[in-house]
């Protein structure tokens, strides 16, 4: 067993919609045959994943009768148990059906908003049957093509009303879910509300049960507009709000590509993995990506294995980075030692002392920082020559 072999403790998960993606895009039809949820669980077990996540309708078709639903749930539970595959996260599809063409929680028609809340409550019931602890909400349709349709602050108020309602339902049912809100700037809408993880972090503070709600940042969604995923993740982590993460890859400035983790931006992916490992993130490492349209299901397995392998390679390299003598000595040289004395907590005396201090800005600016060397040492590790 190589050190890059996935193990349950790595908490690698995939959505049914990821390995089950059939390669359709806006310009072309599906290229892979449909696999059932049970077959997908078998595949995930084969490649060594820890868990599987699903939208309500990935598992139970929207037109299923109550009896069909129960049968599907029973079979899927058995498959998960037989293959030791967990269901750590559940979510709800509020974007596919035509009824959500104007949004779900933010739609102008109050009946659509109510239907969206009802559908979410039922999806929460479904996830709870599998012991899911995180409930992701991605508002893909919560946006506009034209701002003539509503004031964006009304959309925010409506989203808050729905979230508050769902938190109460969570409490009343005793489900113990943590909600994880997933941002995306655009696609499928021209503009989506709450376009970044930072926007959601600010919104969460305005909720009735903010302790129950965090974020689910996705690499592709931060990198589409050219932002740093790692910085978004760090802010979420520092705020105690990193409840889930969607790992994949993306060329900036393009449509949402959901490419294999690490396949486009290995350096940024390395910093991301290093961050998660350094801070001791205990949550799921969920790959929200899919295989190229060129692939058959062997290619899909290659894709899934590749996501996990790349994560583990970066984890290994992060350890190497942390134990690298020269890197550590450069870091020690740039570490701040006496910030406490210089700034510390505000007080009249301390402020007077600070105002009276002489700083030699030329001397401060003259000190080389050695970041070029630091970065090249990082590159050497990443390129496998150190």
Draw the binding track, 284-313, toward Mn ion (x: CB under 5 A; -: no contact).
----x-------------------------
Instruction: Please state the φ and ψ torsions of residue 265, each to the nearest 5 degrees.
Output: -125, 75
CB of 32 to Mn ion, least distance (A): 19
Q: Does 182 bind ligand GLT (CB under 6 A)?
A: yes
Picked from ligand GLT, Mn ion, none, the partner binding residue 102 (CB below 5 to 8 A depending on kind) is: none
Residues in the interface with ligand GLT (CB under 6 A) total: 9
| Active site positions, annotated | 55, 58
Smallest separation (angstroms) from Mn ion to the CB of 258: 5
Is residue 220 close enough to count as binding Mn ion by CB under 5 A?
A: yes
Q: Between 240 and 259, how does the x/- string for binding to ligand GLT read (CB under 6 A)?
A: ------x-------------
Please state the closest distance from residue 261 (CB atom) to Mn ion, in A.
12
Neighbours of 172 (CB within 10 A): 8
Decide: residue 340, CB within 10 A, 0-12 exposed, 13-18 middle, 19+ buried.
exposed
Between residues 133 and 218, which has the closer beta carbon with respect to ligand GLT?
218
Question: Tokens for 345?
Answer: 């907590």
Q: Is the dihedral of CA 33, 37, 40, 42 positive or negative?
A: negative
Minimum CB distance to Mn ion smaller for 250 or for 310: 250
Among 142, 218, 222, 249, contact with ligand GLT (rule: CB under 6 A):
218
Nearer Cβ to ligand GLT, position 79 or 136? 136
Query: Which residue from 144, 246, 291, 317 is in contact with Mn ion, where contact means CB under 5 A?
Result: 246
Q: Which of these segments, 37-45, 75-83, 211-219, 269-277, binds Mn ion (CB under 5 A)?
A: 211-219
Per the document, the length of the chain is: 386
Query: How deeply is 238 buried, as exposed, middle or buried, from its count of CB atoms within 10 A (0-12, 13-18, 19+)?
Result: exposed
Of residues 338-367, those binding ligand GLT (CB under 6 A): none
Nearer to Mn ion, 133 or 288 (CB): 288
Closest CA to 384 of 313, 325, 307: 313
Confirm or reject binding of residue 288 to ligand GLT (CB under 6 A). yes
Distance between CA atoms of residues 296 and 271, nearest Å: 31
Residue burial 134-166, b: 16+ Cβ < 10 Å; e: rest: bbbbbbbbbbbeeeeebeeeebbebbbebbebb
The binding site for Mn ion (CB under 5 A) comprises 218, 220, 246, 256, 258, 288
The binding site for ligand GLT (CB under 6 A) comprises 17, 55, 91, 136, 138, 182, 218, 246, 288
């Amino acid at each position: 067993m190589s050190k890059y072999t996935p193990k349950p403790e790595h908490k690698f998960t995939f959505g049914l919609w990821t390995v089950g993606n059939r390669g359709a895009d806006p310009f072309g039809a599906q290229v892979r045959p449909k696999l059932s949820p049970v077959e997908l669980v078998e595949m995930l077990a084969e490649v060594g994943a820890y868990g599987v996540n699903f939208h309500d309708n990935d598992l139970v078709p929207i037109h299923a009768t109550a009896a069909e639903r129960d049968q599907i749930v029973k079979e899927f539970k058995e498959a998960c148990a037989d293959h030791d595959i967990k269901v750590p996260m559940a979510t709800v599809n509020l974007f596919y059906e035509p009824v959500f063409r104007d949004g779900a929680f933010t739609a102008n028609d109050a009946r659509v908003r109510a239907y969206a809340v009802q559908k979410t409550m039922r999806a929460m019931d479904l996830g709870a049957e599998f012991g899911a602890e995180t409930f992701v909400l991605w508002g893909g349709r919560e946006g506009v093509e034209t701002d003539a349709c509503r004031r964006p602050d009304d959309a925010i108020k409506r989203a808050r009303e729905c979230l508050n309602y769902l938190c109460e339902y969570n409490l009343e049912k005793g489900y113990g879910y943590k909600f994880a809100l997933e941002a995306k700037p655009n696609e499928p809408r021209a503009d989506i509300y709450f376009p970044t993880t930072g926007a959601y972090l600010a919104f969460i503070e305005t909720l009735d049960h903010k302790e129950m709600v965090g974020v689910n940042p996705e690499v592709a969604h931060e990198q589409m507009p050219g932002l740093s995923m790692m910085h978004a993740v760090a802010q979420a982590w520092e705020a105690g709000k990193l409840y889930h993460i969607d790992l994949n890859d993306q060329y900036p400035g393009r449509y949402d590509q959901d490419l294999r983790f690490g396949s486009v931006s290995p350096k940024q992916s390395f910093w991301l993995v290093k961050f998660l490992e350094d801070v001791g993130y205990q949550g799921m490492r969920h790959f929200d990506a899919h295989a190229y349209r060129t692939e058959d299901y062997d290619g899909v397995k290659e894709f899934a294995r590749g996501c996990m392998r790349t994560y583990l390679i970066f984890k290994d390299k992060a350890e190497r980075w942390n134990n690298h003598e020269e890197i550590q000595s450069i870091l020690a040289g740039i570490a701040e030692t006496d910030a406490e004395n210089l700034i510390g907590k505000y007080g009249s005396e301390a402020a007077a002392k600070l105002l009276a201090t002489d700083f030699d800005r030329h001397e401060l600016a003259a000190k080389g920082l050695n970041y070029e060397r630091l970065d090249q040492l990082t590159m050497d590790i990443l390129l496998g020559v150190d």
